[in-house]
Amino acid sequence: MKKLINAPEAVVAEALAGMAAAHPGLIRVETDPAFVVRADAPVRGKVGLVSGGGSGHEPMHGGFVGRGMLDAACPGAVFTSPTPDQMLAAAKAVDGGAGVLFIVKNYTGDVMNFEMAAELAAAEGLTVDSVVIDDDVAVKDSLYTAGRRGVATTVLAEKICGGAAEAGLPLAAVADLCRRVNANGRSMGMALTACTVPHAGKPSFTLADDEMEIGIGIHGEPGRRRVPLEPADRVAEMLMEPVIEDLPFRTGDEVLLFVNGMGGTPLIELYVLYRKAHEIAERHGLKVVRNLVGSYITSLEMAGASITLLRLDADMIRYWDAPVLTPALRWGA
Amino acid sequence: MKKLINAPEAVVAEALAGMAAAHPGLIRVETDPAFVVRADAPVRGKVGLVSGGGSGHEPMHGGFVGRGMLDAACPGAVFTSPTPDQMLAAAKAVDGGAGVLFIVKNYTGDVMNFEMAAELAAAEGLTVDSVVIDDDVAVKDSLYTAGRRGVATTVLAEKICGGAAEAGLPLAAVADLCRRVNANGRSMGMALTACTVPHAGKPSFTLADDEMEIGIGIHGEPGRRRVPLEPADRVAEMLMEPVIEDLPFRTGDEVLLFVNGMGGTPLIELYVLYRKAHEIAERHGLKVVRNLVGSYITSLEMAGASITLLRLDADMIRYWDAPVLTPALRWGA
Amino acid sequence: MTDSLDVAALTAWLDRAAAVLEREKARLTELDAAIGDSDHGVNMARGFSAVAAKLAGAPPADPAALFKTVGMTLISTVGGAAGPLYGTLFLQAAGQATGKPALDAPALAECLKAGLAGIVQRGKAEPGDKTMVDALGPAVAALDAAAGASLPQALAAAAAAAEAGMMATIPLVARKGRASYLGERSVGHQDPGATSSFLLLKALADTAAG
Amino acid sequence: MTDSLDVAALTAWLDRAAAVLEREKARLTELDAAIGDSDHGVNMARGFSAVAAKLAGAPPADPAALFKTVGMTLISTVGGAAGPLYGTLFLQAAGQATGKPALDAPALAECLKAGLAGIVQRGKAEPGDKTMVDALGPAVAALDAAAGASLPQALAAAAAAAEAGMMATIPLVARKGRASYLGERSVGHQDPGATSSFLLLKALADTAAG
Ligand SMILES: Nc1ncnc2c1ncn2[C@@H]1O[C@H](COP(=O)(O)OP(=O)(O)O)[C@@H](O)[C@H]1O
Ligand SMILES: Nc1ncnc2c1ncn2[C@@H]1O[C@H](COP(=O)(O)OP(=O)(O)O)[C@@H](O)[C@H]1O
Ligand SMILES: [Mg+2]
Ligand SMILES: [Mg+2]
Ligand SMILES: [Mg+2]
Ligand SMILES: [Mg+2]
């Protein structure tokens, strides 16, 4: 295991300390329980947005805390959902009197912990709503399973809802917008290499030099199937087709196209992938009116990428474009 | 070699096409000869900033083209300096009547190609000045060698000079500021893994699981020495001490601390490293008044990091803070 | 040999469980690497070491208080799926233990039954979904069936049933938790949560056996 | 066997050089991987294949025009250190070739001498710095020394001298180009640029040999 860390058990706390040192104007980092919170929280009269999840997906979620995006993020251990006490403390810290929205990725652990936190928060008199993101088309949706995973649409939901909350929309409207983003966002990912959970000390799986995994999530888990390594253009097809078919996206749809790196894949490759993904979108008659290219929701040092399409409406565009001032996303401010 | 590419000879052109598709509002990509240029170039009355170098360092330089930073960037083949015809065409495309500044990283190839371009540009009546960046303390400076490499201070120079050019400073002042940035910036890098040049098809060197290279550049070349793998805090010391000693930085200096990822190292590790680097800076009495954490000047998919310290003056701070609107750096706009 | 477990005995169980989980951390992590995300071992070890520390720091007054402390501690230290589920188990068990200075076999059966019900309510897993429920369900049934037996015998039977249930997860297709994302590829792997459930019951049986 | 090289012969040389560099691409890249950045092979192959295409597309009128085309093409297609250096070599050679319909041994010697001087002026390398100068310098000297010999013999001597110079770079500490960053670690490796210089001269000698 080759990592720039000191000890597996110290990684999360030390990375948080690094964030705190690097972004004092934007965020504060609380340690007991641990959460990242806007430097100016709570913002009076504004809906508080709280997300969180296991660590190892940086910059998500802590890097998205700040004006125009999240009010707080709760980091768990690597790939481990955070706990209800973190979420409750974060909710209290950001409650400006307009209620709190939990944005939750659909993993059993995340869902249950946020549920418990919502129960505790309600018991303390806070108004809390929750939206679960489940956009990963690699997983067959079914009533009998845990359902689809929540992956890269989460980043888009956090930005768009952050813009809406900043604009003063009430909790119900922000939650509704969040559900709409989830309903219109679809993702699929792939890996060239596995990643190593610091505590585990060895890769979660192994791939031969001529293999790749299609349909991975963001936790170093194996994907739906292992296939021979293909050129980037073919990979773009393998990710885009199921995404487009699933919603389905249709001719004329205005979309945001998000090509995301898994942590170990450099930007030059993401742009090679974006080129083809954009071409495929246009071939299907989609209008790519917004996009995002970069490593925003990662799986430690995994090499690989995911592609997300979000069908946009006017609200989503407005709040996507709204100013944002966080460690990882910053524009107009 | 596991990469999201189609063919080694197509990588650069396809990544450029991806950039063009992703950022139509910010940049245009010319292909014959190849350069990335601000969508609104030339800007009348503004000094034109042109940089460039081999590809494989993304987002540098193409990702830094846009308002408040570069006017144009010339991409070479992977790790290969671009050619004078690219630089000349770029200079012509951005010349707004106030002259053009070439920001050149100190590599024999880059220096010679930019020299030739400057000669050609002068012959065509353009006013061109050049500044060579050579901030890598891993390389002993000497009159008898190629001298120090230009590495991460280049990113800071491009941002700061971009702000100055945007503010309307004349060529001589922008060039002077650029030389001041170079004179006050120092860097040192390390690698956990090698990278693979697409054409070469195999890693430039190999490191055992318990080894790292100290004093690497950004071209997948071996470093100054190979040493046993150390914890992140120790790595921070190994990079910070030579950087601090070299200038030397002194108690009370206001500095920008830049922790840069080499392409394959995830953000969580960069923050772990930043934490200690910041602590070391403070231990030396330096005031870290600005910082940057992320993968901005990379070496393909190499895992590793570099640390840069820049001693700031009031101008540097003003132009660092100025709005910037490029694919990779964006704030205040 | 005892007929019921008081606070001291239950604390001994949880100390033993903490030690066992620390020892088995790598194995649990490996099981989770195959069909999950490589954290079950470290999550459980972290949680139970926090439990042991908590109990040592402030010994609870009775089994109900002890279970409540255990449940709250697990919820705030384990995270992931296992934290809320095991936390719920102990909180529900606390309800059943209320007012009792020590727990005999029937009382323990009630506690475990309520705990399992809590897990099912939280997690919605059914038997055969390849989860901890597949180890805990048979253990509850075995405890019920061992009504006449001594406490150590009853708990040994419960642990044996949990072990069998754990083994029986190997051929299953996962339908809950992360392993469900793998679909058919989850077949052939033992469920990590069922394994930690067995280890907890085994530690309990071993504690009762003295 | 010829006494001088006209445009056709020089074109044949450059075609042969393009083929040789394509064939030796991997080896040059490997040499550059050891002490540089793994691109010398692909840079040279790309540049000379562009040269061959250019010459085929628009055959130049005389050796001077040919050298000028070669120099300009290399400068705009090779990049890196080798592009400007080899480009300069051919541009300087063009100056010496002006007015000559074909180049005999003394003329070729003048061309190469001027080319080398151009490289030294651009790159500031001295003999022993572990660069292409260490292959080209001995080749120029050998051409001078072979004043009385036939053209093929003179060029064979030049190629042999280049080869010896190339081999002699192995024990050197690099002081110019990327390899200089390695300091003492550059010892024991053959310089890629010296190697491509030898390959170019060998192709020239082979062409003259017929
Ligand atoms: N819905 C559920 N009901 C019961 N048990 C579950 C459920 N989901 C997961 N589990 C159990 O949790 C275990 C995984 O725990 P752990 O690895 O700690 O959490 P996570 O899956 O969040 O990483 C699985 O092996 C399984 O036994
Ligand atoms: N200053 C110099 N003078 C002469 N030759 C040089 C000089 N610097 C480098 N070279 C030659 O260039 C070769 C490397 O060329 P290449 O790999 O194409 O360029 P780069 O070093 O820019 O990647 C070296 O092996 C050396 O022979
Ligand atoms: Mg987990
Ligand atoms: Mg090069
Ligand atoms: Mg797990
Ligand atoms: Mg090279």
CB C188 within 8 A of CB C126: no
Check pLDDT > 90 for residue C66.
yes
Task: Sort out which chain C residues have CB atoms less than 8 A from A107's CB and list them.
Answer: 81, 178
pLDDT in tens, B103-129: 999 999 999 999 999 999 999 999 999
Number of H helices, E strands in chain A: 8, 14
**Alpha-carbon span A183 to A133, nearest angstrom:** 9
Contact at 8 Å (CB) between C209 and C152?
yes
- Residue pair B294/B267 in contact (Cβ under 8 Å)? The answer is yes
Which residues of chain A are in CATH 3.40.50.10440 domains?
Answer: 8-184+318-331
Closest to D8 measured CA to CA, from D72, D71, D59: D59
The C-alpha R_g of chain B, in whole angstroms, comes to 19
Polymer length in residues for chain C: 210
Using alpha carbons only, how large is chain C's radius of gyration in Å? 16
Distance from CA of C65 to the nearest CA of A (A): 19
**If you ran DSSP here, which 8-state letter would residue B228 be given?**
E
pLDDT of B236-246, one tens digit each? 999 999 999 99
Closest ligand 2 atom to Cα of D80 = 22
Q: What angle do CA A102, A104, A106 make, to 5 degrees?
A: 155
C-alpha of residue D42 to centroid of ligand 4, in Å: 10
* Domains of chain C with bracketed CATH: 4-209 (1.25.40.340)
* Secondary structure (3-state) at C22: helix
DSSP per-residue string spanning D126-142? -TTSSSTHHHHHHHHHH
The answer to whether the CB of A215 falls within 8 A of the CB of A286 is no
What does the alpha-carbon distance between residue A156 and residue B203 come to, in Å, rounded to a whole number?
36
Question: Which ranges of B255-311 does DSSP label H, i.e. alpha helix?
Answer: 267-283
Report CA D176 to chain centroid distance, whole Å: 18
Q: Report the distance separating Cα B125 and Cα A197, nearest Å.
A: 59
Q: Is the pLDDT of residue C201 over 70?
A: yes
Check CB contact of A303 with chain B, cutoff 8 Å: yes
pLDDT tens for residues D34-83? 999 999 999 999 999 999 999 999 999 999 999 999 999 999 999 999 99
- Is residue B330 less than 8 Å (CB to CB) from chain A? yes
Instruction: Mark whether D and C touch (3+ CB pairs within 8 Å).
Output: no
Q: Hey, are the CB atoms on A221 and C85 less than 8 Å from each other?
A: no
Euclidean distance between CA atoms C60 and C51, whole angstroms: 12
For residue B100, which phi and psi values (nearest 5 degrees)?
-130, 135
SS3 A102: strand
| Strand A225-228 to A211-214 pairing | antiparallel
Q: Cα–Cα distance between C123 and C131 in angstroms, integer?
A: 10
Pairing of strands A34-38, A27-31: antiparallel
Question: What is the CB-side half-sphere exposure of residue B125 using CA atoms within 13 A?
Answer: 1
Please classify residue A150 by burial: count the beta carbons closer than 10 Å to its beta carbon, then call 0-12 exposed, 13-18 middle and 19+ buried.
buried
Other residues' Cβ atoms within 10 Å of the Cβ of residue A122: 11
| CB-based contact C83 A219, cutoff 8 Å | no
- Per-residue pLDDT band at A173 (split at 50, 70, 90): very high
Q: Coil, strand, or helix at residue A220?
A: coil
Ligand nearest to the CA of D181: 2
| Ligand 1 atom closest to residue A108's alpha carbon, by position in its atom list | 8
Q: Do chains D and A touch (3 or more CB pairs under 8 A)?
A: no
Looking from the CA of residue B107, the nearest atom of ligand 2 is 22
CA distance linking residue A67 with residue A27, whole number of Å: 10
Q: Does C76 touch chain A (CB under 8 A)?
A: yes
- Probe residue for ligand 1, chosen from C21, C27, C32 as the CB with the greatest number of ligand atoms within 8 Å: C32
**B8-184+318-331 has which fold?**
Rossmann fold (3.40.50)
Cα separation, D180 vs A194, in Å, equals 36
Pocket test for ligand 1, best of C40, C44, C181 (most atoms within 8 A of CB): C40
Predicted pLDDT at A141: 76
Spatial separation of the C-alpha atoms in residues A326 and B325, rounded to whole Å: 16
Which chain A residues contact residue B303 at CB under 8 A? 2, 264, 301
CB contact under 8 A, A108 and C75: no
**C84, C72 in Cβ contact below 8 A?**
no
Rounded distance between C-alpha atoms, residue B58 and residue B86, angstroms: 18
- pLDDT bracket for residue B139 (50, 70, 90): confident
Residue A142: pLDDT over 80? no
Per-residue pLDDT of B73-100, as tens digits, reads 999 999 999 999 999 999 999 999 999 9
> What are the DSSP calls for A55-93, one per residue?
ESSTTTTGGGBSBTSBSEEEEEEETS---HHHHHHHHHH
Residue C1 has pLDDT above 60, yes or no: no
Q: Cα(C116)–Cα(C126) distance, rounded to whole angstroms?
A: 11
Residue A135 backbone phi and psi in degrees, to 5:
-110, 0
CA pair distance D130, D197, nearest whole angstrom: 12
Which residues partner with A211 through β-bridges? A228
Burial of B264 (0-12, 13-18, 19+ CB in 10 A): buried
pLDDT class of A87 with cuts at 50, 70, 90: very high
Point out the residue among C38, C46, C177 whose CB comes nearest to the CB of A79: C38
User: Do residues D182 and D35 make contact, with C-beta atoms less than 8 angstroms apart?
Assistant: yes
The angle subtended at Cα D98 by Cα D93 and Cα D103, nearest 5°, is: 70
Quick check: helix, strand or coil at residue D210? coil
Residue ranges for chain D with pLDDT beneath 50:
none
Q: Give the pLDDT confidence score for residue B45 in this predicted structure.
A: 98
Nearest CA to ligand 2 atom 25: D193
Q: Identify the pLDDT of residue B204.
A: 86
**Cis before residue D63, ω within 30 degrees of 0?**
no
The stretch C18-27 carries a mean pLDDT of: 98
Residue C112 token pair: 């475990």
Q: What is the predicted pLDDT for the residue at B224?
A: 84
Distance from the A133 Cα atom to the nearest Cα atom in chain B, whole angstroms: 23
Q: How far is CA B211 from the centre of its chain?
A: 26
This model of the complex carries an ipTM of 0.95
CATH number of B185-313: 3.30.1180.20
Q: In chain A, which residue ranges form alpha helices assigned H by DSSP? A: 11-22, 84-94, 108-123, 153-166, 171-184, 232-246, 267-283, 314-321
Touching chains, A (3+ CB pairs < 8 A): B, C
Spatial CA neighbour of C111 closest among C63, C156, C149, C157: C63
Six-digit token pair at A250? 């249709």
Contact state of A109 with C84 under an 8 Å Cβ cutoff = yes
* Euclidean distance between CA atoms B167 and B158, whole angstroms: 14
Is residue D122 within 8 A of residue D167, CB to CB? The reply is no
pLDDT tens digits for A268-308? 999 999 999 999 999 999 999 999 999 999 999 999 999 99
- Predicted confidence band of residue B170 (pLDDT cuts 50, 70, 90): very high
Enzyme catalytic residues of A: 57, 219
Nearest CA in chain C to A220: C37
Ligand 2: which of D176, D182, D198, D199 to mutate, judged by most atoms within 8 Å of the beta carbon?
Answer: D176
Distances (CA, A) of D191 to B170, B199, D74: 43, 19, 20
Cα separation of A63 and A91, whole Å?
A: 18
Task: State the Cα–Cα distance between residues B306 and D28, nearest whole angstrom.
Answer: 29
CA distance A268 to chain C (A): 28
Which tens digits make up the pLDDT trace of A245-256?
Answer: 999 999 999 999
Q: Which DSSP letter does residue B299 get?
A: -
The whole-angstrom separation of Cα B219 and Cα B204 is 9
Q: Which helix (H) or strand (E) holds C184?
A: none
Confidence of residue A67 (pLDDT cuts 50, 70, 90): very high
φ, ψ (nearest 5 deg) of residue B65: -90, 130
- pLDDT tier at B219, thresholds 50, 70, 90: very high
List ligand 1's pocket residues with C-beta within 6 A: A 80-81, 107-109; C 32, 36-37, 39-40, 43, 80-82, 85, 119, 123-125, 131-133, 176-178, 191-194
| Confidence at residue A204, expressed as pLDDT on a 0 to 100 scale | 86
Residues in CB range of A104: below 8 A, 6 or more apart: A51, A110, A111, A114, A130, A131, A132, A133, A150
What residues of B are in contact with residue A269 (Cβ under 8 Å)? 3-5, 15, 301
Helices (H), chain B: 11-22, 84-94, 108-123, 153-166, 171-184, 232-246, 267-283, 314-321
pLDDT average, residue stretch A19-35: 97
Nearest Cβ partner for A11 among B265, B267, B272 = B272
Q: Which of B193, B278, B301 is opposite residue A265, by nearest beta carbon?
A: B301
Beta bridge partners of A196: A203
* Alpha-carbon distances of A298 from A20, A186, B264, rounded to whole Å: 20, 17, 12
| Residues of chain A neighbouring C38 (CB-CB closer than 8 A) | 79, 197, 199-200, 204, 220
CB pairs under 8 A between A and B: 190
DSSP code string of D10-52? HHHHHHHHHHHHHHTHHHHHHHHHHHS-S-HHHHHHHHHHHHH
- Give the mean pLDDT of chain C: 96
Residue of chain A minimizing CA distance to C174: A145
Domain boundaries for CATH 3.30.1180.20 within chain A:
185-313
Across chain B, mean pLDDT equals 97
Whether omega for the bond prior to residue A248 falls within 30 degrees of 0, making it cis, is yes
